[in-house]
Every structure is written in structure tokens, then in C-alpha cells.
Structure 1
Amino acid sequence: MMCKFWLLAVFALCFSGCATNFSSSSPKQEGSALELDGNWLIENINGAGVIDKSHLTAMISGNTISGRAGCNNFTGQISRTIDKISIRKLALTRKMCSPALMAQEQRLIGALESANKLEISKDKPWVWFLSKNQTTSLKLVKINDGNITKPAASNNTLRAVDLNTKNKQDDKSSEHHVFHCATLGRIEMRFLGPETILLTLPEESVILQRDRSASGARYKSESNSENDSESFSFWNKGHEATLLLKNTTYSCTH
């Protein structure tokens, strides 16, 4: 009788150990380690790539999400658990753009509002926001020091590029500069490529393209005209810079 008792005890101990190992190796547990806070590029809406150079972005900080929807800026509240997500109280600026950009913007906002499930890649800085029935989806690629995301010219999508594999002419893409702008505060400028920068402002992030017609290193938002109330431009003059943000000019120092 005692022998049977010890056999049952050993069997239970082995079974418990196997169950523990299975739980710790769950893909969901491994994937949940990716931090959502930070800057993201949205490269896919409902299974389709985004319009070339529309540069859809999202910046997540705590329970706040903001970014550029291609035409307008948006902001809202975000909450998450391990694999669930909720985005509420979205607000947008009111600016008209081309019909194609406006249609894409509506799809983006609809996918954000219906986001319910969070899926995270195990080995890449990618996340997917899915609706409850998975009829809408967003794919986001994180921007960080090791993997910079830049526009792909061939297929209207975005791809992650390892800085260590870029050629020498793109070495400047690792540069990161901090400026302090009067009344606005701290802003950060990071090169995504030789002609593209990511400008991180106190409340949002924006991607700007080099303006070849301007003298010096001047960058501006491609979809906006100079007199547009939602326009952005950044003129880097070494240790000084000028930022035009929504018809307000700021003097900045490095």
C-alpha cells in the first residue's frame, strides 16, 4: 500500500513539473514582453499597405495614444492587458486632403476604434491590433535604436531596416539630436534615412522629408502646403533650428 502511495506521489510531481514547463513556454507570455510605449509606424490597414509617403504614425505613452493619420492628427486613450486592447475617445483635427488620403484615414480610425485583441511578434518589433471578429486589423512596426522603420519605395508599405546592414551613405541615420524650443520645450530629431527625419514633439511625432528647394537642412511634411494650418517644417542650422508648427514659429537650440 505504501509503495502505491509513493508511486502516485512521484507521478503527481512529474505531471506538475511538465505542466509548469508548458505554461512558462507559452507564446503569449513570451510575446507580451514587448513594450507598447514608444513610437510606431503603421504599415498595414486591414491587410493592405498604406499610401506611399502618407507616413501613418502612432505614439503611445502610458494610457495615451496620438499620431498622424495621413491627413489629420489624432489623439485618444488606450488601455491593455496581456492580449486585449481598447482605444477610446479618439479626437482628430479637421483638415481636408485628397479623397484617397481621407478614405485611408477613415479606415485607420475605424480600425483603431474597433481594436480589441493584441497580437505581438515573438522575434520582431511588430504588433497587430485586431477587432473582436478580426474584420479590421492594423500592423505597427516599432521605431527604436536597433530597428529603424522607413518607407519602402517599391510597394507602398514600410519595412524594418537594421542599421548595422545599411551602406555607408546612410550612416547618418543613427544620429539623434535633442533641441530645446522656446515655450514648446524639448524635441528630438532622429534620421530615418538620408532624406527623412522623425521629429518627436511633447505631444506627438511627425515624419518630415528633406525640402531640396531650400538652402540648408530643411524638412517639411509632404502632404501640407506652407500656408496650411496643420503644416510642419524644421530648419536645422547646426546648433540652432527653426520649427514651424501649425502656423507658429519656435526658435530652438541644440
Structure 2
Amino acid sequence: MSSRFGHRRPVQGVVLLLLACAMAAPARAGGGGLDGSWQVTALDGRPVAAADGLTLAFRGDQLSGFAGCNRFSAPYRFEPPAGDTQPVAIGPIRATRMACEPAKMERETAMMRAIGTAHTISRAQDGAVEMRSETGKVTLRFVQTAP
């Protein structure tokens, strides 16, 4: 059907274009209200003492921190939202390669696994932030120490 200006259904075309753009929302790097420094308070459901010094820092599209023995960094980006949790993609992770006592190395390996396999990030009711695996298990919990 043509309008009096000779164009075919211009309104439908605009609506379809807007719908396609909304459905194909791109991943966005960084952000999500996480910029700042964070202290890990739980790893794989077990409390982490502040004295252990496990930290995260979100700056722009980069995540960095200290995993108990080595420093690490990785790019991260949020995927299009899905409900009350925010899908995230982290990696590849780069880390220094110092050796430490076995207990620290085990904790560090668990932290790197939690970060590398994070599927979503969400804010808990108490204000802490949680990383969850693809199965929904909370693998890392952290609180902000500085903006």
C-alpha cells in the first residue's frame, strides 16, 4: 500500500528497524555501577578474612586485583540484561606467576576459577556484589571499599 507521497508503509519500516535494534542490544564494556575497589568476603561459599587481602578493582572495562599471591587483570563486559542479574563475560585473565605456600595457591586457583567462569553479577540485598556460575551458584562475594 502506498501513501499519497509514494512511499510504502514508512511507519512500519521505522517500527521494524527500532524493534530490531532493541532486540540486538550490544554487549557493553565495563560500567554497571562497579567502578571502584572491592574486598572479597566469600569464595565458593566460605568466608574470606580481610587479612587475606583478596581484592578486586573495576575501572572502565578492566577488572584487576590481588588473588592472595599474584596480581591479575582482565577485560570484562556486560551482556544484554536478563532479569535481575547482569550477564557478564570476563577474560582472558592475565596474572603474575609468583609461587606461594600451598594454601594460598589453592585459594588463588579457586578465585581465578570463580572470576573466569562468572556468568552473572548481581547485587545482594545487603549491598554486597555476587558473581555466580552458569548454574547460579555464588562463587565470589565482595563489598566496596572505595569508589
TM-score higher than 0.5 here? yes
Mapped to 2, the partners of 1:95 and 1:55 lie a distance apart of 16
Per-residue deviation at 1:144? 3.5
Task: Find the residue that maps to 1:53 and give its secondary structure.
Answer: helix
State the match for 2:37 in structure 1. Answer: 39
State the match for 1:129 in structure 2. Answer: 131
Q: Answer whether contact 2:39 2:55 (CA < 8 A) is retained.
A: yes
**1:60-91 residue CA offsets vs partner (Å, 9 max, x unmatched):** 01110001001100000111144111111101
Mapped to 2, the partners of 1:71 and 1:53 lie a distance apart of 13
Per-residue deviation at 1:134? 2.9
- Aligned pairs for 1:72-83 within 5 A: 72-81=70-79, 82=81, 83=86
**Partner AA of 2:96 in structure 1:** T
Given the alignment of the two structures, is residue 141 of structure 1 paired with residue 139 of structure 2, yes or no?
no
**Partner AA of 2:101 in structure 1:** S
Mapped to 2, the partners of 1:96 and 1:51 lie a distance apart of 21
State the match for 1:69 in structure 2. Answer: 67
Number of residues paired by the alignment?
111
Mapped to 1, the partners of 2:138 and 2:96 lie a distance apart of 23
**1:203-244 residue CA offsets vs partner (Å, 9 max, x unmatched):** xxxxxxxxxxxxxxxxxxxxxxxxxxxxxxxxxxxxxxxxxx
Higher RCO structure, 1 or 2 (CA under 8 Å, sep 6+): 2
Residue among 105, 111, 115 paired with 2:114: 111
- Greater Rg over alpha carbons, structure: 1
Task: Find the residue that maps to 1:103 and give its secondary structure.
Answer: helix
State the match for 1:87 in structure 2. Answer: 90
**Partner AA of 1:131 in structure 2:** S
Q: Answer whether contact 1:71 1:96 (CA < 8 A) is retained.
A: yes
Q: Answer whether contact 2:35 2:58 (CA < 8 A) is retained.
A: yes
Mapped to 2, the partners of 1:103 and 1:136 lie a distance apart of 18
State the match for 1:12 in structure 2. Answer: none
Per-residue deviation at 1:116? 0.5
Q: Answer whether contact 1:114 1:136 (CA < 8 A) is retained.
A: no
TM-score by length of 2: 0.69
**Partner AA of 2:102 in structure 1:** P
**Partner AA of 2:43 in structure 1:** I
Residue among 41, 44, 49 paired with 2:47: 49
* Identity score, percent: 27
Q: Which runs of 5+ in 1 are unaligned?
A: 1-33, 146-254
Mapped to 1, the partners of 2:91 and 2:75 lie a distance apart of 5
Task: Find the residue that maps to 2:119 and give its secondary structure.
Answer: strand
Mapped to 2, the partners of 1:87 and 1:133 lie a distance apart of 17
Mapped to 2, the partners of 1:109 and 1:136 lie a distance apart of 14
Per-residue deviation at 1:135? 4.4
Mapped to 2, the partners of 1:111 and 1:136 lie a distance apart of 9
Q: Which runs of 5+ in 2 are unaligned?
A: 1-31
TM-score by length of 1: 0.41
**1:136-193 residue CA offsets vs partner (Å, 9 max, x unmatched):** 6100101147xxxxxxxxxxxxxxxxxxxxxxxxxxxxxxxxxxxxxxxxxxxxxxxx
